[in-house]
Amino acid sequence: MESPAATITIPTLQQIERDGRKIVEWWPGTTRSAQIVDRVGVDIVSVGDTVGINLWGHSTPFEITMDEMLVVCKAVRRGVKRALVSCCDFSFLRSSPGRHRCRAESAVLMVKEGGADMIKLDGAPQFPDAVRAISRAGIPVFARLGITPQTALQIWNPIQRCFET
């Protein structure tokens, strides 16, 4: 981790990676918890769609709305002074693979109104148009690859139903 006094930027993250150091990310859902993890030196403070379950009481992360995400992103931004703020797991926020423009507009909203520094896009390989559209809007994309909590739910739920009686 960088010293807690240093402000984290995209070039800072790139240097941390080049130096072979670990990048530390945490997922607070409130201003107070964001303040705590920021003070101890976390590099990235993320707001993900799982706040739909943990904060809003939804049964799955797929139910979170953009308005709910915006409220949480603003709250977390108010608590962070030095870490990068990342929102949102955009691949699952009420848009299909063909609606990359909608995702880019949502990303702009999270940056301009929510205070996010970059956008996290789960399942990015399935949505290259969304990655391009968000990048073209001048917003850094944190493209997550592989199995994510959302893709695990898609895989696990059908298997789980096979065992239910």
Q: Which CATH architecture has domain 10-163?
A: Alpha-Beta Barrel (3.20)
Of 95 and 76, more confident: 76
Q: Which of 52, 84, 74, 83 is nearest to 149 (CA)?
A: 52
In the structure encoding, which two tokens stand for residue 139, read together?
């917003």
3-state secondary structure at position 30: coil
- pLDDT, residue 138, reads 92
Q: Residue 13 is which amino acid?
A: L
In this prediction, residue 152 has a pLDDT band, given cuts at 50, 70 and 90, of: low
Q: Residue 12 is which amino acid?
A: T
Full-model pTM: 0.78
What is the rounded distance in angstroms from the CA atom of residue 32 to the CA atom of residue 23? Answer: 22
* φ, ψ (nearest 5 deg) of residue 86: -115, 130
Cβ proximity of 90 and 119 under 8 Å: yes
Domain segments of the chain as ranges? 10-163
Cβ proximity of 139 and 111 under 8 Å: yes
What is the rounded distance in angstroms from the CA atom of residue 6 to the CA atom of residue 82? Answer: 7
Q: Point out the least confidently predicted range of 41-45, 77-81, 154-158.
A: 154-158
Beta strands in the chain (DSSP E): 25-26, 44-47, 84-88, 118-122, 141-144
